[in-house]
Amino acid sequence: MTTDWLIVGAGFAGSVLAERIASIRNESVLLVDRRDHIAGNAYDTLDEHGVLVHQYGPHLFHTNSEQVWDYLSQFTEWHPYEHRVLASVEGQFVPVPFNFESLRRLWPKDRAEQLQARLVAEYGSGVRVPILRMLQHQDQSIRELAQYIHDRVFAGYTRKQWDLDPSQLDPSVTARVPVQIGEDDRYFQDRFQAMPRDGYTALFRRMLSHPNIHLQLSTDYRELPASLEWRRMVYTGPIDEFFGYRHGHLPYRSVRLEFRHEETAQFQPTGTVNYPNSEPYTRITEFKHMTGQQIAGTTLAVEYPQPHEPGRNVPYYPIPRPESAAIYEKYQSEVAALAGSTIFVGRLADYRYYNMDQVVARALKVFEDTIEPMAK
Ligand code: FAD
Ligand code: UDP
C-alpha cells in the first residue's frame, strides 16, 4: 500500500494538515492515531449520564485570528459562550482574572476604592497587567497589593499545577491570567469566543470526511506494516519520543481528571471555580455552563495536577523554563538534519504551551509556507 502522506496524530495539528493536503493538494493522506478516537486532547463525548464532557480536561475556544475562526467555521456552527471563572479566596468566590470586583469582595469599601484609583492612575483603565510585572512596580502600595494577589491567587495554584513558584516559570505562564484594571470579568478577551455547537469531535468528523483521507485509529505509526510506503510525513506526537529520547526526556506536567456526576441542575455559579490555596485540586469545571446542554443532572471535572510519568499518564503541559528549552534545542537540531522529510507540528512536536487556536494557526501557516509550495 502507498500513500502520499503519513500524518501521525489526529488532534488539531494533524487533522488541519490532513484536511488541507487532501482538499488543496488533492493528495492521499493516511492519518493515524494511537488513541481510539479523533480530536486529540480536544476530544469530547457523552458520558454515561448523557452529559457532553471533555475527556482530557475542559477546552474553551477563543481566538483573535479571523483566519482561524473562518477556517474552523467551515466545519461547525457555534454556541456563543464567554468563559467566567471564580476563585475561592479566604472563604469567598472572587472573579479571576483578579479585577475590581475581586478587590471589593476582599477589602473594605474605602480601601478598595483607593486601590482602584491608584491602579487606574498607574496603568490606565481596562489594561491587563501580569502579576510578575505588578510585583516589580516602583510604588510600594501597588507592590503590596501585587504581593497580596500573588499569595492568594497565584502562589498556591502554581505550586499545585507546576510544582514550582511563579518566578521559576517563564513569565508568559502566569501572564495568561493577568490582573484586570477594571470590571471585565471574562477569562479571555479574544474577539471570537464560542464552543463548537455539536462539540469538538463532531467538528473533527466533518473536517476529516474528505475522500482523500484514510483514518486509522488505535495505531501507533511505529507499528505500521513495513510494506506501507509514504512519500512525506507530518508528525504531531512528542518530539523527544520520535528521537528515542536520545537527548533526554522533555519534562511535562500531567493532570488526573476526576469526573463527578451530581443530580442537580447546576453545581456552581460559573463554568470553572479555581481553588488556589485550599483543596488538593486546582479547579472544578461544570461542562453544562460551557456547552449550553439542556439536561437534568450535571457532570464536573475536578483537576488534580500530577508529575508526568512517560507511558503511565498523558504529557499534558510542556513546562516553559530555560532547562526544558535547552533540551528542546537539541531535538530541534535533529529536525534540521532530516532536511524537511518529516514535518513537526503541534503542542507536543513543537514543545509549546499552545492553545487550540494557536495550533490551528501554526498548522495553516506550515501548510501555506512549506507544504503548499512543495513539488507534487
Ligand atoms: P494533541 O491534541 O495532543 O494531538 C496529538 C495526537 O498525536 C494525540 O491524539 C496522540 O494520541 C497522537 N500521537 C502521539 N504519538 C503518536 C504515535 N506514536 N502514533 C500515533 N499517534 C500518536 N486550548 C485552548 O485553546 N483552550 C482551552 O481551554 C484548553 N484547555 C486545555 C486543558 C488541558 C487540560 C490541556 C492539556 C490542554 C488544553 N488546551 C486548551 C490546549 C489544547 O489541548 C491543545 O492546544 C491542542 O489540543 C493541541 O493539539 P495537537 O494536535 O498539537 O496535540
Ligand atoms: N494561575 C494561577 N491561579 C489561577 C489561575 C491561573 O496561579 O487562579 C496561573 C497558573 O500558574 C496556571 C497559569 O496561571 O498554570 C495559566 O492558567 P490557565 O488557566 O491559562 O491554565 P490552563 O487553562 O492552560 O491550564
Q: What would the pLDDT profile of 41-60 be if each residue is shown by its tens digit?
A: 999 999 999 999 999 999 99
Residue nearest to atom 7 of ligand 2 (CA): 154
Residue nearest to atom 5 of ligand 2 (CA): 177
256 three-class SS = strand
Do residues 212 and 26 lie in contact, with contact meaning Cβ atoms separated by under 8 Å?
yes
| pLDDT over 90 at 293, yes or no | yes
363 CB-near residues (< 8 Å, 6+ apart): 12, 13, 16, 17, 20, 345, 346
Mean pLDDT in residue range 327-334: 97
DSSP 8-state code for residue 215: E
Per-residue pLDDT, 35: 98
Per-residue pLDDT, 311: 87
- 227's grid cell: 510494506
Q: Is 60 in the pocket of ligand 1 (CB under 6 A)?
A: yes
Amino acid identity, position 173:
V
Residue nearest to atom 23 of ligand 1 (CA): 355
Q: How far apart are CA 283 and CA 285, in angstroms?
A: 7
- 185's grid cell: 470579568
Q: How far apart are CA 331 and CA 334, in angstroms?
A: 5
CA angle 185, 189, 190 (to 5 degrees): 155
| pLDDT over 90 at 340, yes or no | no
Q: How far apart are CA 193 and CA 124, in angstroms?
A: 25
Per-residue pLDDT, 29: 98
| pLDDT over 90 at 341, yes or no | no
Per-residue pLDDT, 325: 95
On average, the pLDDT of the chain sits at 97
| pLDDT over 90 at 376, yes or no | no
Per-residue pLDDT, 118: 96
Q: Where are the beta strands (DSSP E) in the chain?
A: 2-8, 29-32, 44-46, 52-54, 61-63, 78-80, 85-89, 92-96, 128-129, 179-180, 192-196, 213-216, 229-235, 252-262, 272-274, 283-286, 298-307, 317-318, 342-344
Domains and CATH numbers, the chain: 2-38+208-251+318-371 (3.40.50.720), 43-84+188-196+252-307 (no CATH), 94-180 (no CATH)
Q: How far apart are CA 137 and CA 130, in angstroms?
A: 11
Residues of the chain above pLDDT 70, percent: 100
Per-residue pLDDT, 10: 99
DSSP 8-state code for residue 184: -
Ligand nearest to the CA of 236: 1
Per-residue pLDDT, 78: 98
Best of 160, 167, 174 to mutate for ligand 2, by most ligand atoms within 8 A of CB? 174
How far the first Cα of the chain sits from its last, in Å, is 19
| pLDDT over 90 at 232, yes or no | yes
Q: How far apart are CA 183 and CA 30, in angstroms?
A: 49
108-166 residue pLDDT tens:
999 999 999 999 999 999 999 999 999 999 999 999 999 999 999 999 999 999 999 99
Q: How far apart are CA 113 and CA 119, in angstroms?
A: 10
| pLDDT over 90 at 296, yes or no | yes
Do residues 90 and 277 lie in contact, with contact meaning Cβ atoms separated by under 8 Å?
no
Range with lowest mean pLDDT among 226-235, 244-253, 311-320, 333-342: 333-342
348-371 residue pLDDT tens:
999 999 999 999 999 999 999 999
Per-residue pLDDT, 210: 98
Find the 226 Cα to ligand 2 centroid distance in Å.
Answer: 44
Given the CA of residue 60, which atom of ligand 2 is nearest to it?
23
Q: How far apart are CA 231 and CA 27, in angstroms?
A: 11
Do residues 147 and 186 lie in contact, with contact meaning Cβ atoms separated by under 8 Å?
no
189-228 residue pLDDT tens:
999 999 999 999 999 999 999 999 999 999 999 999 999 9
Best of 32, 41, 252, 360 to mutate for ligand 1, by most ligand atoms within 8 A of CB? 41
Find the 217 Cα to ligand 1 centroid distance in Å.
Answer: 15
Q: Return contacts of 364-367, CB within 8 angstroms, 24+ apart.
A: 364/16, 364/20, 364/67, 364/68, 364/71, 366/17, 367/16, 367/17, 367/20, 367/21, 367/24
* Site of grid cell 483607593: 114
